Structure 1
Amino acid sequence: MAATDLFAHRATLGRAVGLLSAFRFEQSDPARFYGALATDTVDMVADLWTGVTSSPAAGRTVLDVGGGPGYFASAFESAGMRYIGVEPDPREMHAGPAGEPGAGTFVRASGTALPFADDSVDICLSSNVAEHVRHPWRLGNEMLRVTRPGGLAVLSYTVWLGPFGGHEMGLTHYLGGARAADRYARKHGHRPKNDYGSSLFAVSAADGLRWAASTGALVTAFPRYHPRWAWPVVAVPGLREFLVSNLVLVLAPS
């Protein structure tokens, strides 16, 4: 079985439209948006685990680097996995249901210096975090370090030149990151949460693919929110920077 065979059946146009529709509630109703995203993420990770290992994901330990509030925790625990979330910002840890009983374990730490032993978790996940750290591949290397041989590391991030690369700055990021952030500040009277150069960085698809290939652990890469028939765009240099939007790197350390 190929790593993506199971998940490919979920990667339909309807799923893509549904997730895109939910995105508009990120600010007004975060539970609605992040709840849907968490459920979809659990399905993706569980399918990838089974595709790579030919075994069920239930009972496995998941380390979520940059997990934020507890939406992902609740979803993973409901699927029978043990969840450990790593989050450097205490405001993010308390922004959602992270404090609910049974919603996983949370550790305050940096993703680029994880306080866990080598080969200590079954699955290491990072969802939409790499573009927010200055050294994203240091984060990736830490994920591989703590993932046991025969385990799975899944690193998913927003590509800078894609339509959502600017986050709340919208398409103005095509004018340049610093200029877009300054423009946002003038319009709204405060800096964007995802401020270019401090909490948002330009990470390309080519950068991620190059790093993943260099580790010797890369299994596959695909655009996270695209229907299956659009996945081949990842193999097209240049075009993928604008069309992939969010790149998933699947790695299996040996």
Structure 2
Amino acid sequence: MSKTEGATYTHGHHASVLRSHTWRTAANSAAYLLPHLKPDMKVLDVGCGPGTITVDLAAKYVPQGHITGLENAAGVLVQARELAKEKGVTNVEFVEGDANALQFADETFDVVFCHQVLQHVKDPVNILREMRRVAKTGGIVAARESDFGGFIWYPAVEDMEDWLAFYSANARSNGGEPNAGRMIHTWAKKAGFSPSAVTSGSSTWCYSTKEEVAWWSGLWAERTVASSFAKTAIENGTGTQERLEKASAAWRNWGNEEEAWFSVLHGEIICRK
């Protein structure tokens, strides 16, 4: 099936990005969804990346069911399959595909969800519409998206505000919406869910220990100059090499602060079909 995604994934799959993605588990990234799962459900994870959430769900939350991880970047699926093999999880499969035109029949899955996907795509409403199509009647479509406008850090460090403005401008130039978290409930309604079928909420990631701060600041400092973010920023004209380096330095300076603290806001939706 041909891919029809019109946006460019701002982060790419550089090692600094995957350090963040592989940290994600069902507990720290899909807690809002877990109470709705049953052991024998059939689940689709749209935009599964390296598969850490997918494999965790398959092993712990749908052990008698099955979960399919779908990703349009074939290379990262190698890592996902290796993880499942390493963990001995057999009720999971990983397939390449385009979320804009899912290769599954109508009414296939009990649960269809995505994590940190809709903020990066050209047409999030269409993807939610596709997710709704392949969900069974009575089933669930769920999504969790960060909201960069709701990122909070302490203390104030020179050039961190510029990094946020820079990131947001580049993400939008790539076709995405960095403040997706506050919008996903509206997108779901536009995708065909009735207002009464959509439940929305929010949660955060918080990095406050020395180890957490070092990890979070280090991966952002690196991805700012080494991942696809840097390449697309220069191509889009949203940044220069000098601005990239200043943003990277700001992350390292923040990470060196004794009282460093960072909170990442996420919007979440549970939609009943």
TM-score w.r.t. the length of structure 1 is: 0.62
Q: Which of structures 1 and 2 has the larger relative contact order (alpha carbons within 8 angstroms, sep 6+)?
A: 2
Matched, 1:89 2:73: yes
- How many Å apart are 1:93 and its aligned residue? 1.5
Q: In the alignment, what sits opposite 2:257?
A: none
Task: State the distance in 1 between where 2:26 and 2:40 align.
Answer: 18
Task: State the distance in 2 between where 1:104 and 1:208 align.
Answer: 27
Decide whether the 8 Å contact of 2:71 with 2:95 is kept in 1. yes
- How many Å apart are 1:176 and its aligned residue? 4.8
- Output the aligned Cα RMSD: 3.3
Task: Describe the shift of the 1:150–1:178 C-alpha distance in structure 2 as closer, same or farther (beyond 3 A).
Answer: closer
Q: In the alignment, what sits opposite 1:190?
A: none
Matched, 1:78 2:66: no
Task: State the distance in 2 between where 1:174 and 1:27 align.
Answer: 18
Decide whether the 8 Å contact of 1:73 with 1:85 is kept in 2. yes
Task: Describe the shift of the 1:159–1:29 C-alpha distance in structure 2 as closer, same or farther (beyond 3 A).
Answer: closer
Matched, 1:106 2:94: yes
- How many Å apart are 1:40 and its aligned residue? 3.4
Decide whether the 8 Å contact of 2:70 with 2:95 is kept in 1. yes
Q: Percent identity?
A: 19
Q: In the alignment, what sits opposite 2:188?
A: 212
Matched, 1:224 2:212: no
Matched, 1:65 2:46: yes
Give the number of the structure whose alpha-carbon radius of gyration is greater.
2
Equivalent positions of 1:1-150 (< 5 A) are 27=16, 30=19, 34-41=22-29, 43-47=31-35, 49=36, 57-79=38-60, 80=63, 81-96=65-80, 97-98=82-83, 100=85, 102=90, 104-150=92-138
Q: Which amino acid aligns with 2:130?
A: E
Equivalent residue of 1:145, what SS?
helix
- How many Å apart are 1:155 and its aligned residue? 1.1
- How many Å apart are 1:113 and its aligned residue? 1.0
- How many Å apart are 1:213 and its aligned residue? 3.4
Task: State the distance in 1 between where 2:18 and 2:134 align.
Answer: 34
Task: Describe the shift of the 1:107–1:171 C-alpha distance in structure 2 as closer, same or farther (beyond 3 A).
Answer: farther
Between the two proteins, the alignment pairs up a number of residues equal to 187
Unaligned runs of 5+ in 1: 1-25, 50-55, 182-194, 228-242
Q: In the alignment, what sits opposite 2:177?
A: 201
Task: State the distance in 2 between where 1:29 and 1:176 align.
Answer: 21
Task: Describe the shift of the 1:123–1:109 C-alpha distance in structure 2 as closer, same or farther (beyond 3 A).
Answer: same
Task: State the distance in 1 between where 2:54 and 2:184 align.
Answer: 26
Unaligned runs of 5+ in 2: 1-14, 153-158, 207-262
Q: In the alignment, what sits opposite 1:252?
A: 272
Decide whether the 8 Å contact of 2:124 with 2:187 is kept in 1. no
Decide whether the 8 Å contact of 1:118 with 1:145 is kept in 2. yes
Q: Which amino acid aligns with 1:30?
A: R
Decide whether the 8 Å contact of 1:42 with 1:76 is kept in 2. no
Task: State the distance in 1 between where 2:160 and 2:57 align.
Answer: 30
Decide whether the 8 Å contact of 2:111 with 2:141 is kept in 1. yes
Residue deviations 1:172-228 (CA, integer Å, cap 9, x gap): 35435475x4xxxxxxxxxxxxx552274344445322223342163310113279x
Matched, 1:175 2:165: yes
Decide whether the 8 Å contact of 1:112 with 1:142 is kept in 2. yes
TM-score w.r.t. the length of structure 2 is: 0.58
Task: State the distance in 1 between where 2:84 and 2:24 align.
Answer: 19
Task: Describe the shift of the 1:35–1:205 C-alpha distance in structure 2 as closer, same or farther (beyond 3 A).
Answer: closer
